[in-house]
Amino acid sequence: MLMPNNTAFEHAQATHDRMNGAQSLACLFMTSAMETIAAGKAICWEGDAAKHLFQVVEGVVRLHRIIGEGRRVITAFHFPGDLIGASLQSAFLFTAEAVSDCKIRRVSRKSFHDEIARSDALRPVYINLLCEETAAANNQMVLLSKLNAEERLCSFIVKLASRSDAKMQHGLLRVPMNRQDIADYLGLTIETVSRTITKLASRNIVVPEGRHDLRIVNLSRLVQLSGNGDDFSDKTCHSVSLH
Amino acid sequence: MLMPNNTAFEHAQATHDRMNGAQSLACLFMTSAMETIAAGKAICWEGDAAKHLFQVVEGVVRLHRIIGEGRRVITAFHFPGDLIGASLQSAFLFTAEAVSDCKIRRVSRKSFHDEIARSDALRPVYINLLCEETAAANNQMVLLSKLNAEERLCSFIVKLASRSDAKMQHGLLRVPMNRQDIADYLGLTIETVSRTITKLASRNIVVPEGRHDLRIVNLSRLVQLSGNGDDFSDKTCHSVSLH
DNA sequence: CGGGCGTTTGAAGCGCGTCAATACGGGTGG
DNA sequence: CCACCCGTATTGACGCGCTTCAAACGCCCG
Distance, in Å, from the CA atom of A29 to the CA atom of A18, rounded to the nearest integer, reads 16
Domain A7-141 fold is: Jelly Rolls (2.60.120)
Rg (CA), chain A: 18
Half-sphere exposure of B78 (CA within 13 A, CB side): 29
Report DSSP letters for B172-233, one per residue: EEE--S-HHHHHHHHTS-HHHHHHHHHHHHHTTSEEE-SSSEEEES-HHHHHHHTT--SS-H
Q: B127 vs A127: CB contact, 8 Å cut-off?
A: yes
Higher-pLDDT residue of A196, A229: A196
Q: Taking CB atoms and an 8 Å cutoff, what residues of chain B touch A230?
A: 68
Give pLDDT, residue B23: 66
Query: From the CB of residue B243, how many other CB atoms can be counted at a distance below 10 Å?
Result: 6
Least confident of A129-133, A202-206, B170-174: B170-174
Residue A99 CA, distance from chain mean position:
12
Q: Taking CB atoms and an 8 Å cutoff, what residues of chain A touch B138?
A: 65, 75, 93-94, 137
Give pLDDT, residue A163: 87
Give which of B138, B143, B151 to mutate to test A binding, by max A Cβ within 10 Å: B138
Distance, in Å, from the CA atom of A89 to the CA atom of A114, rounded to the nearest integer, reads 14
Task: Write down the mean pLDDT value for chain B.
Answer: 87
Give pLDDT, residue B20: 52
Give pLDDT, residue B237: 38
> Residue B206: pLDDT above 50?
yes
Q: What's the first-to-final CA gap in chain B, in angstroms? A: 31
Q: Where are the domains of chain B?
A: 7-141, 148-237
Give pLDDT, residue A20: 52
pLDDT tens digits, B89-145: 999 999 999 999 999 999 999 999 999 999 999 999 999 999 999 999 999 999 999
Exposure string for B151-163, b = 16+ CB within 10 A, e = fewer = bbbbbbbbbbbbb
> Residue B241: pLDDT above 80?
no
pLDDT band at B1 (very low <50, low <70, confident <90, very high): very low
Higher-pLDDT residue of A88, B18: A88
> Residue B238: pLDDT above 50?
no
Give pLDDT, residue A227: 74
Give the nucleotide at minimum CA-to-C1' distance from B190: C7
User: Which residues have C-beta within 8 Å of that of residue B206, sequence separation ≥ 6?
Assistant: B157, B173, B197, B200, B214, B215, B216, B217, B218, B222
Once rounded to an integer, what is the mean pLDDT over residues B59-64? 98
Exposure string for B81-99, b = 16+ CB within 10 A, e = fewer = bbbbbbbbeeebbbbbbbb
From the Cβ of B178, is strand C under 7 Å away? yes
Among A71, A123, A140, whose Cβ lies nearest the Cβ of B141? A140
From the Cβ of A73, is strand C under 7 Å away? no
Give pLDDT, residue A57: 96
pLDDT band at B10 (very low <50, low <70, confident <90, very high): very low
Give pLDDT, residue B158: 96
Q: What is the percentage of chain A residues whose pLDDT exceeds 90?
A: 77
pLDDT tens digits, B162-200: 987 776 667 899 999 999 999 999 999 999 999 999 999
Distance, in Å, from the CA atom of B12 to the CA atom of B240, rounded to the nearest integer, reads 9
Give pLDDT, residue A79: 96
Among A126, A146, A187, whose Cβ lies nearest the Cβ of B145? A187
CB A29 within 8 A of CB A115: no
User: Which residues have C-beta within 8 Å of that of residue B26, sequence separation ≥ 6?
Assistant: B55, B81
The CA-atom distances, in angstroms, between B180 and each of A170, B183, B191, B202 are 47, 5, 9, 22
Position A150: which residue type? E
- Please report the number of interchain residue pairs, chain A to chain B, with beta-carbon separation below 8 angstroms: 114
Once rounded to an integer, what is the mean pLDDT over residues A108-136? 95
Most confident of the ranges A229-233, B20-24, B230-234: B20-24
Distance, in Å, from the CA atom of B186 to the CA atom of B77, rounded to the nearest integer, reads 12
Give pLDDT, residue B70: 82
pLDDT tens digits, B213-224: 999 999 999 999
Give pLDDT, residue B68: 82
CATH of span A148-237 = 1.10.10.10
Give pLDDT, residue A167: 65
Distance, in Å, from the CA atom of B18 to the CA atom of B58, rounded to the nearest integer, reads 16
Q: Closest Cα partner for A113 from A37, A28, A11?
A: A28
Once rounded to an integer, what is the mean pLDDT over residues A125-130? 96
pLDDT band at B56 (very low <50, low <70, confident <90, very high): very high
Q: B146 vs A67: CB contact, 8 Å cut-off?
A: yes
pLDDT band at A125 (very low <50, low <70, confident <90, very high): very high
Q: What is the DSSP letter of A239?
A: T
pLDDT band at B69 (very low <50, low <70, confident <90, very high): confident
pLDDT band at A21 (very low <50, low <70, confident <90, very high): low
> Residue A190: pLDDT above 70?
yes
> Residue A233: pLDDT above 70?
no
List the Cα angle A118/B136/A129 in 5-degree steps: 35
> Residue A17: pLDDT above 60?
no
Once rounded to an integer, what is the mean pLDDT over residues B80-90? 96
Query: From the CB of residue B140, how many other CB atoms can be counted at a distance below 10 Å?
Result: 22
> Residue B4: pLDDT above 50?
no
Give the nucleotide at minimum CA-to-C1' distance from A210: C25
Among B47, B48, B130, whose Cβ lies nearest the Cβ of A131? B130
pLDDT tens digits, A57-91: 999 999 999 998 789 999 999 999 999 999 999 99
pLDDT band at A126 (very low <50, low <70, confident <90, very high): very high
